[in-house]
Amino acid sequence: MDLNEIQSIFTIGETVAVEFKRCGNGIESDTYETVCSFLNRFGGDLFLGVLDDGTVLGVPEKAASDMVKNFIKVISNPSMFSPTVYLLPEIVKYDENHTIIHVHIPPSAEVHSFKKIIYDRVDDADVKVTSTSTIAQMYIRKQNIFTEKKIFPYAKMEDLRLDLLPKIRVMAQNHAGGQHPWTAMDDQELLKSAGLYGRDVVTGEEGFNLAAIMLLGKDDVILNVAPTYVTDALVRKVNVDRYDDREIIKTNLIESYSQLLDFGRKNLPDKFFLEGAVNKSLRNTIVREMVSNTLMHREFTSSYTAKFVIEKDRMYVENANRATKEGFITVDNLEPNPKNPIIAAFFRNIGYADQLGSGVRKLFKYCKFYSGKEPEFVEGDVFRITVPLDDEYSFDFGVNNKSVSETLDDKIETLESDLKRTKNKIETLDCDFETKEELEIIQLIKENPSITQKEIQQRTGISLGTVKRILPKLQKKGILVREGGKRFGRWIIK
């Protein structure tokens, strides 16, 4: 890791994957707690000789080598760490007067404990884990266990909604363009073909799995195997403390999908939009992607209540998640990862979903036409998709009877005019910017060099995740320099 990367990290501050330790009197116990929590979560970077606000104090240069040796000795001691871990701390000469120690900690495939206590990383804190259910979730995440494959040997055909299968065959046939293997199969063959009936090669158990029950199970059977399963659909536009409308959905995933789509149709405007020469429903497209995502990829063994909430200026879905990383998801850093591959494949066969990762791209594409803003995807133990809403926004508002191409030309002309006006404001800068957001951020920094990331987000309406991506990018270009720490520092425009 070079100095520019380190400085960018110090600017952003502590996160779920970054921790600063002062270590003025040597390496203390809380440093090893952080190592343990990083191993148990998504890994991270540990910096010794740095204050919580990102100010570099450094460690004694002559003592740095001994500190590294002691660090390695502790993490290799089975009475301290179980299981032990192998890491390579790096002594970094930050500047002429300061030396720091950097430790990169990769995520582990095992669950680790320090002094017989398991730690987990929650935001920028190290938390003791004592709950057996939380520890079980950690093992599920680490061992890449797909809980949808759990076999229920005493579940029978009578426990499933077989009356849904004729409809499912027709949907699969229509989605496949007129021909689909399921149309020629009987019920038992269809369920086996879809992976809903099988044998666990580890235990030898044979029968219907959790995916089968969640997709097609009767309501009382679902309640038996997943008692906390529910999707809470709410409208909070007037009564934001409670709700204006509500539906509690506990039925199988096939019918839950239809009920949630109907809830979205009932409470959201369907704005006019032409894609080429075809009238496309932006509302239905966006709600479909949100609903299919929250149903397909949730962790059904968790007690966290899944939600679909419509507010005045946004709507969001959130659900329990078996996270593989933490942070914002964009089109650029998208790494599709199926949480429930059997359920996802079933949804794709009947047209409820498309290929893995396509939903993210569609939402980024169509949200701009629906509300003028981008959606936000946040990955963690709780997965959330947030879509901004603006009832007064219309993609072609005031265009009268112009064609789509003329509408786009007008919008491009308006955008270029906005960019020109913004550039004129920044008289002292002589550099190229890639986006309007970069120009807006630079203008705010020029007005207030001590402005925080949160204040930038509030002033511009740009999502916090986008702000956190743009600032290091501007530093890398040499346009911005950060002076001081995270809390009391300021920005300098070169």
Q: Flag whether 212 is in a domain.
A: yes
Shared domain check, 249 and 136:
no
Residue 426 has a pLDDT of: 47
Q: Which DSSP symbol is given to 182? A: G
Residue 144 has a pLDDT of: 67
CATH of the domain at 440: 1.10.10.10
DSSP 78-100: TTTEES------EEEE-SSS-EE
Q: Flag whether 483 is in a domain.
A: yes
Residue 22 has a pLDDT of: 92
Torsion of CA 56, 60, 64, 66, to 10 degrees: -140
| Total count of domains within the chain | 4
Cβ atoms of residues 345 and 269 within 8 Å: no
Residue 435 has a pLDDT of: 73
For helices 464-477 and 436-447, give the axis angle rounded to 10 degrees: 80
Residue 338 has a pLDDT of: 78
Please list the residues that pair with 199 across neighbouring strands: 206
Helices (H), 328-403: 341-349, 358-371
Backbone angles phi, psi at 82, to 5 degrees: -135, 120
What distance in Å separates the CA atoms of residue 49 and residue 21, rounded to the nearest whole number?
6
Residue 99 in tokens: 């030396």
Closest alpha carbon to 288 in 385, 182, 217 = 385
Q: Flag whether 395 is in a domain.
A: no
pTM, to two decimals: 0.66
Which residue ranges in the chain fall short of pLDDT 50? 398-404, 422, 425-430
Cβ atoms of residues 441 and 467 within 8 Å: yes
**Rounded to an integer, what is the distance from CA 169 to the centroid of its chain?**
33
Q: Residue 135 sits in which domain range?
A: 3-142
Which burial class, exposed, middle or buried, applies to 90 when counting CB atoms under 10 A from its CB (0-12, 13-18, 19+)? exposed
Helix (H, G, I), strand (E, B) or coil at 296: helix
Shared domain check, 251 and 220:
no
Q: Flag whether 396 is in a domain.
A: no
Q: What is the pLDDT of residues 293-333, one digit of tens each?
A: 999 999 998 889 999 999 999 999 999 998 877 788 888 88
Shared domain check, 370 and 238:
yes
Shared domain check, 167 and 56:
no
Q: HEC states along 111-138?
A: CCEECCEEEEEECCEEEEECCHHHHHHH
Q: Which DSSP symbol is given to 352? A: S
Q: For tokens 């440093």, name the residue.
A: 31
Q: What is the pLDDT of residues 3-25, one digit of tens each?
A: 888 988 898 888 888 999 999 88
